[in-house]
Structure 1
Amino acid sequence: MGHRGDPYRVRENTLPSVRSARERGADAVEIDVRLTRDGVPVLLHDSSLKRLWNQDRRLAELTHAEVRELTHDGVPTLREALLPVDGRAGDAGRLMIDLPGADAASVRTVIGTVRECGAAERVYYCAGPDTMLAVRAADPAAEIAMTWTTLAPPRPALLAAVRPRWLNYRFGLVSRELADRDHREGLLVSAWTADTRRSMRRLIARGVDSITTNRIDVLSGVLARPAKAPAGSPRSSGVPGGPGVPGGPRVPGKTRGF
């Protein structure tokens, strides 16, 4: 999965960055979505325009028209990311929408936009438990990748309320034991943000189902040259015999699991 698109080549969270990630082999692209002052969902990770656009202005204080003016139309709307532009399909396909700083009202706005664009089947949502509870309340059918930042498993009551399909971990937390535990519970495992070949190969060996990276071309190369499987085990670029990988149960909507 491309992290905010293809940020080492093209400015993150822009339509060209999303397209670049797809052109280099991404099965899905993670984007960050926040709301402008007048309630327009746009692609931006930070709460201000300073880091990416050299404008020391907070997004929540700006209308969409002001954002367009300050960034010369550089910050796309969520709607633009979900719909093809000028007949191009570069922005179609799987998107993981991260919701930094979202409250229940902004979650409802984002989900409403996804529905209006007819994109519910190719979008899933990522953030911590509180935000994912808001997503589940707004859309009982939403696909969820709940970010989890500890080795201790989520409480059963939380899993029952959120009903995530994925648990999303910082890559350094993932062990084979953790991945096996989550798979036994019927959960898929995603990891972020791995940028070296060594860390990518380690995650694959540990059985993750998705890797988020800033270097999608490097990950594509690693997957094209999988490590030799141990003697007696099935060849696989993920969990041997596990979900989302060759030899395991088919995961709807995914072709490779990475």
Structure 2
Amino acid sequence: MPHHVLAVAHRGDPYRHRENTLPSVESALAAGADAVEVDVQLTRDGVPVLLHDLTLERLWGDPRPVGRVTLAELEQIGGPGLRVPTLAEAVKAVAERPGARLLVDLDDPGPAAAAHAVVAGLGAEGLVGWCGPVGAMLAVRELDPAAELSLTWKLPRLPVPALLADLRPRYLNPPFGLVDAEYVAEAAGAGLAVSAWTADRRRTMTRLLRAGVASVTSNRIGLLRRVLDA
């Protein structure tokens, strides 16, 4: 097993608090997360906020697309302590925990420029990593030659060398079902560490550790922390 495997909290601590909210982020950090992965969408006025879905329906009971709602309107949804936070607020929350990091998950390139501007404006480039598919990661790489990238990859074969040369990711980020020791070794041969998602069962976590992954993402960050510390 690796000497140190990163524990990444998926959307915070969603079994205890609503995903992609500040209480969820703070709970994950308190539970021992090395990094908290959050999703980002843009409001109508271009503010990066924490939300996975394109609409507010599932989490907030509002059918509107977040892209049609201004930040001021968004702040009226939810209530004190439980609302859709901005990316800037999440960065600041993680910055208060020494050694912790934020992992910004982008499903597409659209929010990349605005999200990177927030991170750069806070001087937090060293605190924030980025993950997502090829298009989103290419957008981040163009904005920041030094950004730490985790390339989300759902194919059993590795990316072609030309793509890796363009992106220069630190991590290959596959779903846990693709990962075994052979996969990890092949990735290492290409200069990549493996960060697997989203493992919520002790048995899966243990299997990934034995395979030699560098990072595990989970909705159950408390359990993952216990498995890693055992």
**Bucket of the pairwise TM-score, normalised by the shorter protein:** over 0.9
Cα displacement (A) at 1:71: 2.7
Contact 1:82 1:92 in 2 (8 A): no
Within 2, Cα distance between the matches of 1:116 and 1:77?
14
Bigger relative contact order, structure 1 or 2 (CA pairs below 8 A, ≥6 apart): 2
Within 1, Cα distance between the matches of 2:46 and 2:143?
17
Within 1, Cα distance between the matches of 2:158 and 2:201?
27
Q: Does 1:165 align with 2:174?
A: no
Within 2, Cα distance between the matches of 1:78 and 1:93?
16
Contact 1:81 1:92 in 2 (8 A): no
Select which of 8, 11, 22 maps to 2:15. Answer: 8
Within 2, Cα distance between the matches of 1:9 and 1:90?
19
Q: Percent identity?
A: 51
Q: Does 1:119 align with 2:124?
A: yes
Q: Secondary structure at the match of 1:211?
A: strand
The AA in structure 1 aligned to 2:185 is: D
The AA in structure 1 aligned to 2:88 is: R
Structure 2, unaligned runs of 5 or more = 1-7
Within 2, Cα distance between the matches of 1:96 and 1:117?
15
Structure 1, unaligned runs of 5 or more = 226-258
Q: Secondary structure at the match of 1:154?
A: coil
2:38 corresponds to? 31
Instruction: Write the deviation string for residues 28-47 of structure 1: whole angstroms up to 9, x where unpaired.
Output: 10000111010000000000
Q: Does 1:70 align with 2:70?
A: no
2:113 corresponds to? 108
Larger radius of gyration: 1
Instruction: Write the deviation string for residues 47-75 of structure 1: whole angstroms up to 9, x where unpaired.
Output: 01111011111001111111111233600
Select which of 194, 199, 207 maps to 2:199. Answer: 194
1:44 corresponds to? 51
1:148 corresponds to? 153
Cα RMSD after superposing both structures: 1.6
Within 2, Cα distance between the matches of 1:125 and 1:99?
8
1:82 corresponds to? 91
Runs of 4+ in 1 over 4 A off after TM superposition: none
Q: Secondary structure at the match of 1:204?
A: helix
Q: Does 1:224 align with 2:229?
A: yes
Within 1, Cα distance between the matches of 2:102 and 2:136?
17
Cα displacement (A) at 1:175: 1.1
Cα displacement (A) at 1:101: 3.4
Q: Secondary structure at the match of 1:56?
A: strand
Within 1, Cα distance between the matches of 2:38 and 2:152?
14
